[in-house]
Structure 1
């Protein structure tokens, strides 16, 4: 295994865009902004008819190959909220997982400190396959050599479709300082 590799930090979050619950009929509004300190997600979360805001990377072409690493590391000023980190991978079954509404994502929820920066480690083997906050029972395999997209969400749903105990509607302003692999 190699040492740590920084994927994104400070102003290096180029291509990251917002995806909010409006795609599903919700009315939350937030935006992502590249700053000197990292990626800022700022807006307002409305739980009714939705309940999520997120920032996600562009689609990697070619896929991001992090096969020689074992874990992600995120540094985030998260206001005491619980987030989901989601990873999309290319599949080996002719891209069929992309026909699943919402797509297959590998997710892990994590809490953050109310004040200051939280450093969270997410081992690849702790990521669970999910479609729209519901655990997938089919035996898909995480492919660290075929990463298509990364995403950070604050949602009223946590892992396995259960409610997120760390969810807060209302104003949100969080800073993703860095995303690394090690």
Structure 2
């Protein structure tokens, strides 16, 4: 199986290109942080608040365009907290919408495989009347939590890659 690594977190990795976005862009009160832990994995943690119509926290990674034609899966190695997360990709970083899919963590290390063709376009929580993701290029990856409830969250990320199969 061929793989293409988008990001492999290690003790010497930098977080260049990574940034967080919370609902405070719309007046909400959610908070989060994104950093490397002692094991060299990324740690995305925070508190989702519903105050002031809030309800989400996210971390984004922008990069020069990457060709993923021929790959069928977005694969993540994560250790979460039992909560549901949303994974997002954008074919053009400037687009308002993302292609999204959900996964639920177990509290143990997991290898999550998301079929790219099942990632559907969404904007502000609404599915758009556009085709699902097709082969091509991407310029942004994001991880979001927004389960319509107040909750603390924590997810550790080891690798993000694309798989052929």
Q: Shared fold (TM-score greater than 0.5)?
A: yes
Q: What residue in structure 2 maps to residue 180 of structure 1?
A: 161
- Residues in 1 aligned to 2:132 and 2:81: alpha-carbon distance in whole angstroms: 33
Question: Which of 110, 113, 118 in structure 1 is aligned with 2:103?
Answer: 110
Check the 8 A contact 1:85/1:151 in 2, yes or no: yes
> Contact between 2:120 and 2:131, CA under 8 Å: does it hold in 1?
no
TM-superposed CA distance for 1:9, in Å, is 1.8
Match of 1:161 in 2: none
Aligned length: 158
For 1:34 and 1:15, locate their aligned partners in 2 and report how far apart those are by CA, in whole Å.
14
Shift of 1:141: 5.4
Q: 1:117, CA displacement in angstroms? A: 1.1
Q: Which runs of 4+ in 1 moved over 3 A?
A: 11-14
Q: CA deviation at 1:143?
A: 4.5
* Alignment partner of 2:152 out of 171, 177, 181: 171
Aligned partner of 2:7 in structure 1 is: 8
RMSD: 2.0
What is the CA deviation profile of residues 60-92 of structure 1, one whole-angstrom value per residue up to 9, with x for unaligned ones? 22x11111311111111110000000111139x
Give secondary structure in 1 for the equivalent of 2:82: coil
Partners of 1:6 and 1:178 within 8 A in 2: yes
Moved more, 139-148 or 11-20: 139-148
Q: Which has the higher strand share?
A: 2
Q: Report the counterpart of residue 55 of structure 2 in structure 1.
A: 51
Q: TM-score, normalised by structure 2?
A: 0.86
SS in structure 2 at match of 1:120? strand
Alignment partner of 1:71 is 2:73: yes
